[in-house]
Amino acid sequence: MNESRDQKSSLWATLTSVGAVIGGALGVSSALRALTARKAESFVEPEAAPPAEHTPRREALEEAVVAEREEPNYLNVDYTLKSWLTSTDHKRIAILYMISITLFFLIGGAAATIIRLQLATPRGDMVQPVTYNKLFTIHGVIMVWFFLIPSVPAVLGNFLLPLMIGARDLAFPKLNLLSWYLFILGGTFTFVAIITGGVDTGWTFYTPLSTTYSNSNVLLAAAGVFITGFSSILTGLNFIVTTHKMRAPGLTWFRLPLFVWTTYATSLILVLATPVLAVTLLLIFLERVFRIGIFDPSLGGDPLLFQHLFWFYSHPAVYIMILPGMGVVSEIIPCFARRKLFSYKFVAFATFGIALIGFLVWGHHMFVAGQSMYGSMLFSILSFLVAIPSAIKVFNWTSTLYKGSIRLDTPMLYALGFIGLFTVGGLTGLFLAALAVDVSLHDTYFVIAHFHFIMVGGMVTAYLGGIHYWWPKISGRMYPELFGKLSALTIFVGFMLTFLPQFLLGRLGMLRRYYEYDPNFQILNVMSTAGASILAVGYFLPLFYLLLSLKYGKRAPANPWGATGLEWQTPSPPPTYNFKVTPVVTEGPYDYSPEAAEREAAAESAEREIQEAGSRH
């Protein structure tokens, strides 16, 4: 191995990730600048305004403007960095999470970019094998634990759960802040592991490769994941208690929006499964440091034990990464179809069906690993069954569109994109649950494409849809609709082009974690890389226009979408205490009427026509 080349290429990978971080930091600083600009606007301007002539009309206007500006909300109560880093306000902590996971997304995305560029040629022209192995490990670890798992729960869940149930905050606000600090601490460990040499075990840390054979920073990275796990556990605990104890009067379980149901189910999984991950990582630590034989057969351990423990966490973790996305979509679709969600109870119970059966299917990652034949059969049939609740959801979302009054705004485009991509991802899961077919597809790009459809096509699309949908509430500003639609379409097209060819690659036998491949596969890989570049543009678009909207966006009204749900009944952005008066709930969720929406639309267009006619005169 040419050492200097190797060093050069790992330096290059490090530089890229550092570059990504710096780019992200620039984005954050511009966001903060936008916020400070608003501060200047709201505080300086009234003083500087000269007491000129006092016409009653102008006075009233000024008063209204000042009243609007000085309405205290969670963003303008205080502007110091300290006030952000010590805030126990669930909304501010959600913003902290949003900024930090965006930074991690940029690091993970930079790794993915190099991976895709490397795979554009069959011979592995860009980085050395060792570097490539570190890159896909970084990509996996960062994207799973530092982006996907906290994405919807810790950002949108943190922001919305108290608002949706009419509470002033989560049950344990300080614990919530502690969760974020643990997350950042874990992230720092992992980041240090990356920049001081990286990890090359794959995000799965399979033994005995990770405990005996790898010479990279396994312990540091595992420590990062271990610590972040506690952040997940605390967040889950907080959400469970909040949902049980802090619902507004009249808000019974079956009046809860589905986002709360899915967040609750996700929290259950977080609390029940994550400790197993912690134990597993601890065992890796014991074996790697003290050579206690747990997984390595040369020490008397069992390598399959690790896979059982790891997937016992990591398969439910897949549902941590998709259930909240389903919750987001269940909010968006009724709102933009102006319809009650079709079969609310079936969708709610399907959520719990997924969470429950999701704990019993981990063995489908091990059909060729050497587990017993009958064990594999049991896991196979359970894996087929876990697909059923997902199918129920897809059918019910689709039926919600029937006889609706549909508007295709950006959040709706994202939500419909989610249904399409999630359906493809779910259906390709059937191939992998079918025992004989999985034998040939296991560990190939078919699996890669399958879970990227679920996690990226599903969860990231839902996350972005949710960010757009609640952006007026979060920031108090409207995002530019045209750019929003453009980003949704770009992401959909880019995603399809990136990952559809990978199904074919997997079927042909291209294996995951290969840094070079059969030249016959190049055409499909080039398609995939081309799609990835479109996808990258799609992901950068929202980053730019959402940041710009903080300064230039139209001010958002309390309820720009005319949506039901308690979070829309408080100003945008909400005050620190969320609600002036604790709301009392008397109705179920999604109380929309398509016919009323049509009448309103007709009245609006009639009014516009009259105005136009008037202006022509």
Partner 1 sequence: MRTTFPPASRSCVRRGKAPTPVPLLGSALNGSRLRLAIPNSRGGESSSQVPPSSPALLPPREKGEQKSGSPLSRSVGEGAGVRATTLPSRVTPFPPREGGRGVRSRRVGLFLLALWLALPARAQEEGFRWSPRQASTIAPRVDALFYTISGIAALIALSVCFLIIYFCVKYRRGSKADRSNPPNRNIILETAWIGIPVLLALSIFVWAARVYVDIYQAPPGAIDIYVVGKQWMWKLQHPEGQREINELHVPIGRPVRLILSSQDVIHSFFVPDFRIKQDVLPGRTTTTWFEATQPGRYRIFCAQYCGMNHSRMRGWVYAMPQADYERWLSQGSTGPSMAAEGARLYQQLGCSGCHGASNTVRAPSLDGIYGKPVPLSNRQIVIADDRYIHDSILLPKAQVVAGYKPVMPSFKGLITEEQVLELTAFIKSLGEKQGREEPRAPQGGGGSGRVEEQRQSVKERARETQRAQQGGGSL
Residue numbers 319-378 binding partner 1 by CB under 8 A: 337-340, 342-346, 367-370, 373, 376-377
User: Which residue's CB is nearer to partner 1, number 2 or number 586?
Assistant: 2
Q: How many CB atoms lie within 10 A of CB 250?
A: 12
HSE-up of residue 94 (Cα within 13 Å, Cβ side): 25
Instruction: Candidates 69, 308, 513, 551: give the one binding partner 1 (CB under 8 A).
Output: 513
- The nearest distance, CB 9 to partner 1, in angstroms, is 13
User: Which residue's CB is nearer to partner 1, number 138 or number 474?
Assistant: 138
- 514 is an interface residue for partner 1 by CB under 8 A: yes
DSSP-based three-state secondary structure for 477: strand
How far apart, in Å, are the Cα atoms of 597 and each of 1, 397, 484?
68, 19, 23
User: Which residue's CB is nearer to partner 1, number 180 or number 342?
Assistant: 342
Q: Measured between alpha carbons, how far is 514 from 517 in angstroms, rounded to an integer? A: 7
- The nearest distance, CB 419 to partner 1, in angstroms, is 6
Transcribe 67-136 into DSSP letters: HHHHS--TTTS--SHHHHHT---HHHHHHHHHHHHHHHHHHHHHHHHHHHHHTTSTT--SS-HHHHHHHH
Q: Measured between alpha carbons, how far is 417 from 420 in angstroms, rounded to an integer? A: 5
Q: How many CB atoms lie within 10 A of CB 298?
A: 9
Place of tokens 């959400």: 239
Is 40 in contact with 69 (CB distance < 8 Å)? no
- The nearest distance, CB 583 to partner 1, in angstroms, is 24
User: Which residue's CB is nearer to partner 1, number 129 or number 571?
Assistant: 129
Q: Measured between alpha carbons, how far is 190 from 199 in angstroms, rounded to an integer? A: 9
- 387 is an interface residue for partner 1 by CB under 8 A: yes
Instruction: Candidates 150, 224, 257, 404: give the one binding partner 1 (CB under 8 A).
Output: 404
Q: Is 103 exposed, middle or buried (0-12, 13-18, 19+ CB in 10 A)?
A: buried
Site residues for partner 1, 30-49, by CB under 8 A, read none
DSSP-based three-state secondary structure for 511: strand
Structure tokens that stand for 164 in this block: 């949706």
User: Which residue's CB is nearer to partner 1, number 509 or number 571?
Assistant: 509
HSE-up of residue 535 (Cα within 13 Å, Cβ side): 23
Mark the segment that binds partner 1 (CB under 8 A) among 39-47, 197-205, 357-365, 491-499.
197-205
Site residues for partner 1, 87-106, by CB under 8 A, read none
Residue 609 CB partners (closer than 8 Å, separation 6+): none
User: Which residue's CB is nearer to partner 1, number 91 or number 364?
Assistant: 364
Instruction: Candidates 200, 287, 331, 567: give the one binding partner 1 (CB under 8 A).
Output: 200
Site residues for partner 1, 443-472, by CB under 8 A, read 443-444
Cα 155 to the center of its chain, rounded Å: 8
Instruction: Candidates 68, 518, 607, 612: give the one binding partner 1 (CB under 8 A).
Output: 518
User: Which residue's CB is nearer to partner 1, number 43 or number 254?
Assistant: 254
Binding mask 123-142 for partner 1 (x = CB under 8 A): xx----xx--x---------
Is 490 in contact with 534 (CB distance < 8 Å)? yes
- 603 is an interface residue for partner 1 by CB under 8 A: no
- 515 is an interface residue for partner 1 by CB under 8 A: yes
- The nearest distance, CB 615 to partner 1, in angstroms, is 22
Instruction: Candidates 10, 87, 190, 405: give the one binding partner 1 (CB under 8 A).
Output: 405
Per-residue DSSP letter, 216: S
Site residues for partner 1, 469-498, by CB under 8 A, read none
Mark the segment that binds partner 1 (CB under 8 A) among 37-45, 72-80, 219-227, 417-425.
417-425
Is 62 in contact with 112 (CB distance < 8 Å)? no
Q: Measured between alpha carbons, how far is 496 from 535 in angstroms, rounded to an integer? A: 9
Mark the segment that binds partner 1 (CB under 8 A) among 11-19, 95-103, 173-181, 590-598.
590-598
- 120 is an interface residue for partner 1 by CB under 8 A: no
Q: Measured between alpha carbons, how far is 121 from 102 in angstroms, rounded to an integer? A: 30
Could you check whether the bond before residue 208 is cis, i.e. omega within 30 degrees of 0? Answer: yes
Instruction: Candidates 30, 42, 88, 399: give the one binding partner 1 (CB under 8 A).
Output: 399
Instruction: Candidates 181, 253, 402, 577: give the one binding partner 1 (CB under 8 A).
Output: 402
Cα 67 to the center of its chain, rounded Å: 36
Q: Measured between alpha carbons, how far is 267 from 261 in angstroms, rounded to an integer? A: 10
Instruction: Candidates 500, 511, 543, 548: give the one binding partner 1 (CB under 8 A).
Output: 511
Instruction: Candidates 509, 560, 571, 583: give the one binding partner 1 (CB under 8 A).
Output: 509
User: Which residue's CB is nearer to partner 1, number 133 or number 263?
Assistant: 133
- 197 is an interface residue for partner 1 by CB under 8 A: no
User: Which residue's CB is nearer to partner 1, number 19 or number 519?
Assistant: 519
User: Which residue's CB is nearer to partner 1, number 130 or number 268?
Assistant: 130
User: Which residue's CB is nearer to partner 1, number 24 or number 404?
Assistant: 404
Mark the segment that binds partner 1 (CB under 8 A) among 42-50, 80-88, 395-403, 534-542.
395-403
Structure tokens that stand for 242 in this block: 């909040």
- The nearest distance, CB 313 to partner 1, in angstroms, is 19
Instruction: Candidates 192, 248, 356, 406: give the one binding partner 1 (CB under 8 A).
Output: 406
Place of tokens 């902290």: 96
- The nearest distance, CB 573 to partner 1, in angstroms, is 28
Is 464 in contact with 414 (CB distance < 8 Å)? yes
Site residues for partner 1, 259-318, by CB under 8 A, read 296-298, 300, 302-304
- The nearest distance, CB 420 to partner 1, in angstroms, is 6
Site residues for partner 1, 210-229, by CB under 8 A, read 212-214
Q: Measured between alpha carbons, how far is 13 from 6 in angstroms, rounded to an integer? A: 11
- 557 is an interface residue for partner 1 by CB under 8 A: no
Could you check whether the bond before residue 480 is cis, i.e. omega within 30 degrees of 0? Answer: no
User: Which residue's CB is nearer to partner 1, number 160 or number 462?
Assistant: 462
DSSP-based three-state secondary structure for 345: helix
Instruction: Candidates 84, 206, 483, 540: give the one binding partner 1 (CB under 8 A).
Output: 206
Per-residue DSSP letter, 154: I
Q: Quote the crossing angle between the two packed helices 461-475 and 410-433, to the nearest 10°.
A: 150
User: Which residue's CB is nearer to partner 1, number 74 or number 517?
Assistant: 517
Q: What are phi and psi of 347, to 5 degrees?
A: -65, -40
